[in-house]
Structure 1
Amino acid sequence: MMRLEIPLTILSLVLMGGNMFFPWAPAHEIIGVLLIVVWALHVYANRRWFKAVFRGRYNPYSIMQTVVNCGMLVCALFLAISGVMLSNHVFTFLEIESGASFARTAHLLASHWYFVFIALHIGLHVNVIFSRLGVAQLVMKSRGVVVATRIAVALIGAYGVYAFIERGLWKYLTLQQPFFFMDLERGYVLFFVDYIAMIVAFAVAIIFVSSLIRLRQRG
C-alpha cells in the first residue's frame, strides 16, 4: 500500500502546478492519467477496507479515517471526470463539447480538496510510512534526534500554515478564486517547498487530533 502512496504524493504535487510546469502541452494530461491509474491500483490494493466501509461499528477515529479516505476518493473521481471533459489532447477523440464551465470549476475545487485530503491521509499513516522506510527506527535511536525532529517538523508545519495563507489555498477550497494562479516569480523550487510544507502542516494537525481522540478513548 505505502509503495503506491509515495508516487501518488509525488504525482499529485507535480500536477498541483497545473500546465505551468510543462513546456509540452499534453504533459499535464498524461501525468493526470498516470495518477488515476496509480489511484486505481491503490484502491484495488485496499479493496478490503473499502468493502468494510458500511460494516461494523464506528468510533471517532474510524469516522475521521473514513471521511478522509472517502473524501480523497471522491475528489479523485471528480478530477478524472472533469479532466476528461477538459482534455485538449489525450481524450479529444471523445469529442466532448459541452460542460466545460462546470468541468473547470469541478477540477479546480476537486484538485485542492484532494491535496488537503491526501495530506491528511499521509498524517493518518505516517507511522506506517516511516516504518516501511526505516525512518522510525533511525529517529528513535536518540532522544536528541527525537527532539530535533519534532522541532523541525513543527517549524516546517508553521511555515506550511504561512504558505497556505500566502498561496491563497483557502480561496480555492471555498471557490473564492475562480481560476488557478501561480506566481512564477517565486519559482518552481519555492512552489514545491510551500506545498510540501503544507502537507506537513495538515499531517501534523491530524496527528494531533488523532492523539487527542485516542487519549479520550483510553480515558
Structure 2
Amino acid sequence: MVRSFLLQRVMLPSAMLALLLVSLAYWWLDNVPHEVFGTGLFALLCWHIYANRTWFKNLTRGTYDARRTVRVLLHVGLIANMIVLLVTSVVISKSVFAWLPIPDSVYLREIHWFAAYWVIIVTGIHVGLHWERLRTSLVNVLGVRQTNPVVRAALLAIGAAFALQGLASFEKLGVWTKLTFNYSLDFWDFTASVAPFFGHWLAVFTLPAIVTHMFMAIWKLTSRRAARPVRTGS
C-alpha cells in the first residue's frame, strides 16, 4: 500500500516534474535530448492518467457545487494545455517524430513554447488542488502528526520560503512576459551557471501550487462557517 502510494503519488509526479524542468533547458540540451525528455514526459503522463482513470469516470457522478466546478474547470485547462503541447511537439519535431510527413510551422513553434511555460503554471495549480491529500498521505508515511505545532510551523515556514522565492524567480526569469506571449531578449546564460536555472523554475512551479492550496483552504473554511446554523437566543 505504502509502496503503491509512493510510486503513483510521489515518484511518478516527481519524475514528470523533473522531465518538464529539464525540457525547459532547450538551449543547454539542444534538440535531441529535449525531444527525448519530452517524449518521456508524455509517456509518464499516459501512465499518470491511467492510474487516475477513476477521476474521469466520476465526472458524471454526484452533484456539482462551486468548489467542485472550479476544480474540474482547472483540470480541463490543464488537459487542454497538455494537448496543445503534445500536438505542437509532434508537428515541430526534428528528431523523434521527424519521419512523419508533417510540414514545419514557425507559428506552431511559438505556440509550443507558450504552452510549455503555461504548463509550469497549470501543473503547479494541479498540485495545489491535491496538496491537502498529498500532505496528509506523506505525513502518515513519515509517521508524524499534522497537529504537532512544530510540524505545522515547519510546514508553514517552508511554504512561505518557497512562495517568496517563487516571486523572486518569477521576476528573475521574466515569466510574466513569457506567459503573455511576448518576446523577451533575456536568455539564461548556461555557460555561467546551470543549477540555478532549474532552482528558479522549481520555485516558479511551487508558487501557483501554494497560492492555489491557500485559496482553496480559505474557500473551504469560509464555506463551512457560512453553512453553520445561526444560533438564536432562547
Same fold per superposition (TM over 0.5):
yes
**Equivalent pair of 2:177/2:183 in contact (CA under 8 Å):** yes
Residue 207 of structure 1: aligned partner: 213
Note closer, same or farther for the CA distance 1:114–1:40 as it changes in structure 2 (3 Å cut): same
Would the alpha carbon gap of residues 79 and 180 (structure 1) be closer, same or farther in structure 2, given more than 3 Å must change?
farther
User: For residues 2 and 155 of structure 1, do their structure 2 counterparts lie closer, same or farther at Cα, with a shift above 3 Å needed?
Assistant: same
Q: Is the 8 A contact 1:84 1:91 kept in 2?
A: yes
Question: Contact 1:157–1:197 at 8 Å: present in 2 too?
Answer: yes
Structure 1 residues 146 and 215: CA distance shift in structure 2, 3 A: closer
Q: Distance in 1 between matches of 2:58 and 2:101?
A: 38
Task: Tell me by how many angstroms 1:94 deviates.
Answer: 0.6
TM-score after normalising by structure 1: 0.87
CA displacement at 1:118 relative to structure 2: 0.6
- 2:51 aligned to 45, 54, 75, which one? 45
Q: Which amino acid aligns with 1:20?
A: W
Q: Which residue of 1 aligns with 2:18?
A: 10
Q: Which blocks of at least 5 consecutive residues in structure 2 are unaligned? A: 1-7, 227-234
TM-score by length of 2: 0.82
Aligned pair 1:117/2:122, yes or no?
A: yes
Q: CA deviation at 1:152?
A: 2.6
- Considering Cα pairs closer than 8 Å and 6+ residues apart, tell me whether 1 or 2 has the greater RCO: 1
CA separation in 1, counterparts of 2:185 and 2:62?
42
User: Which structure 1 residue ranges, 5 or more long, are not aligned?
Assistant: none
Q: CA deviation at 1:151?
A: 1.8
Q: Give the Cα separation in 2 of the matches to 1:110 and 1:55.
A: 31
Residues of 1 paired with 2:223 and 2:142: CA distance?
Answer: 25
Shift of 1:105: 1.9
Number of equivalent positions: 216
The aligned residue for residue 40 of structure 2 is 34
Identity of aligned residues (%): 25
**Bigger Rg over Cα:** 2
